[in-house]
Chains A and B, each alone.
Chain A
Amino acid sequence: MGPNGSGKSTLASVLAGREEYEITEGEVEFLGKDILDLAPEDRAREGLFLAFQYPVEIPGVSSNNFLRTALNQIRKYRGMDPLDAVSFLKLMKEKMALVEIDQKLINRSLNEGFSGGEKKRNEIFQMAMLEPKLAILDETDSGLDIDALRIVASGVNKLKTGENATIVVTHYQRLLDYIVPDFVHVLYNGRIVKSGDKSLALELEEKGYDWIKADADGVVS
């Protein structure tokens, strides 16, 4: 969590490998591997997943073809055989049910003409299909009505296993009513300035960020 401009989306983008960012210092180690030198696709193949704040529309690319290509390239990277059409469809059906996404959306071009909520739901569906080890949800709650929020949150909860982790970037406690965090970290000016458990989120909801900013600014100066 953190106030506007604190660097939450920047962190998510840097981790996923967005090329507009230049890393001037520091390192990122993911499951024992330095990922900063890896291309975005290789980070994904290592098990990283970014659910976009604003998923882009790609007219003409079918969700089906897109997901199958992604899944099989990830599998290849990991030395696994590609999924054939039948197994792939079976997996799609299973995951669609899990995250409650409509077949109609999957039949369309990737995100084309999707509402804000549908785009976010599609992000969670992709996450379900690709089974990342670490998922970063970048303000997945923004622009969602309460029903969509519940469905998205429920999808995230169902996907949680002992083998994976999820970083949820959010401004609001609201999402955390549905996704209960194990840890809450507060980012400010690009640094984690406070960490706690779920009660920290509640405290922020009540008191805002000013006290954290004052604390942090005091510490820095």
Chain B
Amino acid sequence: MIEQLKDSYKTFESQLNGLGQGFWQELRTRTLHSFSGLPKPKDEEYRYTQLGRILDKKFQFADLSMMGRTSVHGANALFHNADAHHIYINNGVIDQSKVSQNLPKGLSISTLQEALHHNAKDIESHLGKYAIKNNDAFASLNTIFSYEGIFIKVDKNVQIDKPILLHYSGTDHPGHAIYQSRSLILAEPGARLSIVESYSSDHSEDHFSNHVSEIVVGANALLDYYKLQNQSASTYHVDNTFITQSKDSVVKSYVFTLEGKIIRNNLNVDLEDENCETHMFGLYVAHGDNHIDNHTVVDHKMPHCFSNEIYKGILDDTAKAVFNGKIFVRPNAQKTNAFQSNKNILLTDTASMNSKPQLEIWADDVKCSHGCTTGQLDDEQMFYLRSRGISKASARAMLLHAFVDDVLDKISIGFLHDFVAEEMKNRLD
């Protein structure tokens, strides 16, 4: 496997031409040398999601070396009419013509390659620095085989009113069954912004998309960060997101997963300084043989930080989901307040859920709580509703809506809220 990858890398490198030098190239080589292969069957982190084996069987990793130039059509993208700063990425390839149009002062959006020239210092201080933190094989693969990506920076004390909307789409394209996408997002101290990553796909053939986001949130900055994963039933998708927060910053992250063959999200939040606040909301509604795996880590390193995590899932048919939520409270992190909840409803006997909260607490003056529940709809509530004349189907829909609504209500972007609410209605009614 590793030898095969090294061969692919050679092919890849030979195509890089002018891109194969300098900081990024050193990062690639370094990562390749320390790469130890895809997760093995007994790897604890991938125990319930045997991605290593599945991907190895299904995909030719030689495809990693393909540098496609697919054309991008943003006109059909979901939300293309939304009042936002739009960026279109198709099969990992950025539509450069639209990247930096009409940007307000204090907001820079460019490709990573451009940023390597214009914002060399930013790139060299941040690119790849966070993506090695969890030693994830897919994050490393991304670092090794990425040659492009999106760079977003909001300057000090600048507030960006419109959301920045990244449309990640996938379309069937020969030789493009595997593709990578990557972003580096910097919010300088006091900056305020919201980002929406919308993943869609009209692939009919199996394909694997591998994404990495590195996000650095400066002191007192505010970030709302949304992921909408609405790909096709033949999508294998791995997302590694690394959020690093400085003093007094507030981040709200949201992950909505609506479709995909196997989706694996690794969300890592580092609270590097005092008085950070982080919220992590997740909602997955799985059907058919969807397999949705959310691994989250929130690392409390300093005192007086607050983390609040709510992940909810509804599983139908033979869908499977995994939740693994780690909370670290380091010795220094006194007065930490950490909360975690994972709730799941199984609609069939054949759906299954593996939920595992993991709290590691080294400080002694902290408040941490966690809870997870997995079950069917509450019989008592069903009977109560039906005893008032409400049909079984309506009662079921009412309870499912009630279950998801507290997460839905937290979406502060109108067009996104309406879309997810409508999707819920279509699926739950």
Residue ranges of A at the interface with B (Cβ–Cβ < 8 Å): 16-19, 39-41, 43-45, 49-50, 52, 55-56, 58-61, 65-67, 69-71, 73-74, 77, 109, 126, 130
Contacts A58-B399, A61-B398, A61-B402; is A19 near B385 (CB within 8 Å)? no
User: Interface of chain A, helix or strand or loop or mixed?
Assistant: helix
Cβ-closest chain B residue relative to A44: B389
Contacts of B358 in A (CB 8 A): none
Within 8 A of A (CB), among B366-406: 378-381, 383-392, 394-395, 398-399, 401-403, 405-406
Q: Could you say which residues of chain B place their CB within 8 Å of the CB of A39?
A: 386, 392
Q: Would you call A44 and B388 a contact (CB within 8 A)? A: yes
| A93 smallest CB distance to B (angstroms) | 20
Contact A40 B402 (CB under 8 A): no
Closest to B393 in A: A41
What CA separation (Å) do A40 and B386 show in the bound complex?
6
Q: Which residue of B lies closest to A58 (CB)?
A: B381
Complex Cα distance A69/B378, Å? 19
Q: Tell me if A60 and B387 are in contact (CB < 8 A).
A: no
Q: Are A44's CB and B399's CB within 8 A?
A: no
CA distance A41 to B394 in the complex (A): 11
* B384 pairs with A58, CB closer than 8 A: yes
B381 and A56 within 8 A (CB)? yes
B389 A74 Cβ-Cβ under 8 A = yes
Residue pair B387, A40 in contact (C-beta under 8 Å): yes
Known contacts A56-B380, A61-B402, A73-B389; 4 additional CB pairs below 8 A are: A44-B389, A50-B387, A60-B401, A61-B385
Are A130 and B384 neighbours in the complex by a CB distance under 8 Å? Answer: no
The residue in chain A whose Cβ has the minimal distance to the Cβ of B384 is A56
Q: Of B385, B387, B392, B394, which one neighbours A58 at CB under 8 angstroms?
A: B385
Residues of B within 8 A of A74 (CB): 389
9 smallest CB-CB distances across A and B, nearest first, come from A60-B402, A44-B389, A70-B388, A40-B386, A74-B389, A41-B386, A70-B389, A61-B402, A56-B380
Nearest-CB distance from B12 to chain A (Å)?
50
**CB-defined contacts of A66 to chain B, threshold 8 Å:** 385, 388, 390, 398
Contact between A77 and B389, CB atoms less than 8 A apart? yes
Contact call B392/A45, Cβ cutoff below 8 A: no
Residues of B within 8 A of A130 (CB): 388-389
In Å, the complex CA distance between A109 and B381 comes to: 13
Q: Give Cα distance in the complex from A55 to B385, angstroms.
A: 11
Q: Which residues of chain B (201-246) have a CB below 8 Å from chain A?
A: none
Using Cβ atoms and an 8 Å threshold, which residues of chain A touch B406? Answer: 60
A61 to B388, alpha carbons, bound, how many Å? 14
With beta carbons under 8 angstroms apart, the residue of B380, B390, B402, B405 that contacts A73 is B390
In the complex the two chains form, is A69's CB within 8 Å of B386's CB?
no
Provide the bound-state CA to CA distance between A61 and B406, in Å.
Answer: 11
Contacts of A40 in B (CB 8 A): 383, 386-387
Task: Tell me if A41 and B391 are in contact (CB < 8 A).
Answer: yes
Q: Is the CB of B402 within 8 A of A58?
A: yes
A16 contacts across to B, CB distance below 8 A: 387
Known interface pairs A58-B384, A58-B385; A70-B398 also in contact (CB < 8 Å):
no
B403 touches A60 (CB 8 A): yes
A65 with B388: CB separation less than 8 A: no
Q: Name the residue of chain A whose CB is nearest to the CB of B400.
A: A60
Shortest C-beta distance, A85 to chain B (Å), equals: 18
**A61 contacts across to B, CB distance below 8 A:** 385, 398-399, 401-402
A69 and B390 within 8 A (CB):
yes
Question: Known contacts A60-B401, A60-B402: does B387 contact A17 (CB below 8 Å)?
Answer: yes
Q: Within the assembled complex, what's the spacing in Å between the Cα atoms of A55 and B403?
A: 19
> Across the interface, which residues of A come within 8 angstroms of B384, CB to CB?
52, 55-56, 58
CB pair A126–B383 under 8 Å, yes or no, is: no
Nearest CB in chain B: distance from A209 CB, A: 29
User: What is the bound-complex CA distance between A176 and B381, given in angstroms?
Assistant: 30
Residue of A nearest to B388 (CB): A70
Interchain CB contact under 8 A, A126 and B388: yes
Enumerate chain B residues within 8 angstroms of A43, measured Cβ to Cβ: 387
Q: Which residue of B lies closest to A16 (CB)?
A: B387
Residues of B within 8 A of A52 (CB): 384, 387
Q: How far is the CB of A66 from chain B (nearest CB, A)?
A: 7
Shortest B111–chain A CB gap in Å is 43
A59 to B406 CA separation, bound complex (whole angstroms): 10
A58 to B387, CA, bound (A): 14
Chain A's closest residue to B401 (CB) is A60
6 A–B contacts, CB within 8 A, in A order: A41-B386, A41-B387, A43-B387, A45-B389, A61-B385, A77-B389
Minimal beta-carbon separation of B423 from chain A (angstroms): 18
How far apart sit A60 and B401, CA to CA, in the bound complex (Å)?
8
CB distance from A205 to the nearest CB of B (A): 31
Q: How far is the CB of B343 from chain A (nearest CB, A)?
A: 12
Residues from chain A with a CB closer than 8 A to the CB of B401 are 60-61
Neighbour of A70 across the interface among B383, B390, B392, CB < 8 A? B390
Cross-chain contact of B398 among A19, A56, A65 (Cβ < 8 A): A65
A126 CA to B385 CA in the complex, in Å? 11
Q: How far is the CB of B396 from chain A (nearest CB, A)?
A: 12
Chain A residue at smallest Cβ distance from B394: A69
Residues in A neighbouring B378, C-beta threshold 8 A: 56
- A18 to B384 CA separation, bound complex (whole angstroms): 9
